[in-house]
Chains A and B, each alone.
Chain A
Amino acid sequence: MAGSRAPVKRGEKVDVLIIGAGPSGSVAAKHLATAGLSVVTLEQGNWPDADNFPGRRPEFELVSQKQWHPNPNVRDLPRDYPVETSDSDINPLMFAGVGGSATLYAAHWTPFLPSDFRVRTLDGIADDWPFTYEDLLPCLEEIEHEVGVSGLPGNPAYPPQKAFPTPALPIGKVGRKAAEGLDKLGWHWWPGTNAIPSIPYNGLNACVRRGTCMTGCPEGAKSTTNITYWPHALKAGARLITGARVREIEVDENGLATGAVYFDETGRERRQSASIVIVCANGIGTPRLLLLSKSKRFPDGLANSSGMVGRRLMMHPFSAVAGVFNDPLDGWQGPFGQLIDSFEFYETDEKRGFVRGAKWGAMPGGGPLSATSFVGSRIFEESGSRVEDAWGENLHKMVERRFNHQLVYGIIGEDLPEASNQVVLDPKLTDSDGIPAPKLIYKCSDNSTKMLKFHVDRCLEAVKAAGAIETQVVHQVRDTGWHLLGTTTMGADRSKSVVNEWGQTHDVPNLFVFDGSAFPTSGGVNPTATIMSVSLRQTKHLIKNRRNVEAA
């Protein structure tokens, strides 16, 4: 049965309960509801209010460093849960709300490449995925047309595929400057592909290049699922409950999931029963919830007989290289997605002393305060040992030199899975509902450090070739854990993985994970395109095979 159905009533047992209304959960909700299944989604955040996004207001740069910072520990809002990070080299970044962390993403649309699915075969490390790039491609192409991606076809960094649904955004003077440097070196570059349409599309407005993508798009032009998926899902009968913070997935005497217990916005405890439960709470929230869901039958947490729930956390260590140029670059203009990207050094070359690689995205410098900061963090600040080193006349000189003259390369390197990098429950810290908070134990690997150093050196060559008169490097930026992956890894061996190739947990046949937690490896790119595509693949399989799923 396809099409809309009567809306689900509160408390009514449903076919499918989805936990999390971010990119992966939204894809599942829309497609499951459209296929005729009854669906409830629990989302701990609220609907975003575009009028609250600060991009049009003069204090935009100021609030991007606090209330709209991507680090929940910096924002410290009641809907966020805290994360204990004293044993982590990187801070995780995320946002609770309909649309999930994509509310604050830069919308770089960079699907995984063929080699990303075959790391073990090609490089003798980590693991291969249970499926290939070619297997996933039809889902990627379908997602791109739902999301409203803008881009130019023909990128030689990728195999041929269907054209993007909207034309590429302008690369601006910043993108042009970056491209000229890469051209001089004979290195790859391509106009940026972004989840930001250049023409009105699927409920989205066209990008107006305001450049405030990372504090929420006040134009409604950045593709987030509150705009592109939820109207369709709700029309098809799905129910979305916001302000619902799940504390446990419950199981019956047969070890099957029966639903979830959650706190509503008033703090009242409620239950939602379902035949099937899908967790889409990101690479930290998903293992946290499974570890919270302990029972006599599952004393180490739900679906954790392998001991792998929470392990293999990957967060993409990130470095930034800034180049300052004589020419004015209109550096406050957007999009703050990627203007151009480069995959010149993406694939493994063992002569470099490390395996795998990284993608570069060229982004504008931003407003005057951004002369010393990047995405709300003051990483380019030069404090010196005396006040006058960075202040006084030197402040004026620095702003005159950098503001409107700067481009920033963001380097995202592949993070290899290591069992020691993990999410656990903190014994003391809790969220505002008293639920134990997650703690991260994460160390950047030697491979990541070598990789980023190599890429920083190449990036410096690229900006110098473009004519940079000044450069700055920030190696392994701490506030850059946008990509939370790997903590319920996918695989065929149930002693080494948590879910199978369809996102179904090995231990609980009616419990699924459809988010980036299931990724066996991380690629060296922004993962939202692949997260949404994998979720669609798993959703389609579930729809087709739902009658074979053993349900509570």
Chain B
Amino acid sequence: MLTDSDRDIFAKMADIIIPAWQRMPSASAVGVHKELLDAVLRARPDLVEGVKSAIEACRGRSPGEGVNDLFRSNRAAFDAFTLAATGAYYMDDTVRKLVGYPGQESPPYDPWETPDYLTDGLLERVTRRGAIYKSTPR
């Protein structure tokens, strides 16, 4: 799979597209190049080839130069790399907490509770305007 060198390159590339910003950590700070990347590639094995191509394209170059060149010359690999990096980043618990995303949760609700739109007049105004459909012509 990916070597330590591959992961180091991926981390530096990922920091170009996901740098630290205000309260948000950089991609490498949350370890997008470690277990998170493995989880992404297990979920999306179709990205492996593109991610490897992207890493190879950036090997031995400054990450900024490599990522910019990839963007211009190999969009398929760029897209695979950016999706893998962002997918890993937004799967991280700390990042999710910082952006306010609890994941696809199941918030409780009462199906029998009267909704506010029935008590505050919002829907009544629609009803009062009357039918808007065209009847079947006779």
Binding site for B on A (CB under 8 A): 55-56, 58-63, 65-67, 113-115, 117-118, 121-122, 132-134, 150, 154, 156-159, 166-171, 176, 179-180, 183, 186, 188-191, 198-199, 206, 208-212, 219, 328, 330, 332-334, 343-344, 346-347, 367-369, 386-387, 391-393, 395-397, 399-400, 403-404
Contact = CB atoms under 8 A, between A and B. Distances in A.
Given A176-B117, A183-B122, A332-B105, 9 more contacts: A59-B43, A121-B137, A133-B136, A157-B133, A176-B116, A191-B117, A330-B107, A400-B99, A404-B99
Contact of B101 (A332, A386, A391, A396): A332
Given A179-B117, A347-B132, A369-B90, A210 B105 contact: yes
23 contacts: A59-B43, A61-B87, A62-B83, A62-B91, A65-B44, A65-B83, A113-B134, A122-B137, A159-B135, A167-B111, A171-B115, A171-B117, A176-B117, A179-B117, A209-B107, A210-B106, A212-B104, A367-B103, A368-B86, A387-B67, A392-B16, A396-B22, A403-B101
A133 to B, nearest CB: 6
Contacts of B94: none
A180 B132 contact: no
B104 A387 contact: no
B19 A115 contact: no
Contacts of B115: 168, 170-171, 191
A118 B136 contact: yes
A133 B109 CA distance: 35
Nearest to A121: B137
B109 A170 contact: yes
Given A114-B134, A134-B136, A387-B68, A393 B21 contact: yes
A402 B72 CA distance: 27
B86 A369 contact: yes
Question: Interface majority SS on A: helix, strand, loop or mixed?
Answer: loop
Interface of B: 16-19, 21-22, 24, 39-40, 43-44, 46, 67-68, 71, 82-83, 86-87, 90-91, 96, 99-107, 109, 111-112, 115-117, 122-123, 125-127, 129-137
Nearest to B136: A114
Contacts of B91: 58-59, 62
Contacts of A117: 136
Ranked 9 nearest A-B pairs via Cβ: A208-B106, A198-B111, A59-B43, A391-B17, A396-B21, A368-B90, A115-B134, A114-B136, A62-B87
A387 B117 contact: no
B134 A189 contact: no
Nearest to A330: B107
A188 B101 CA distance: 32
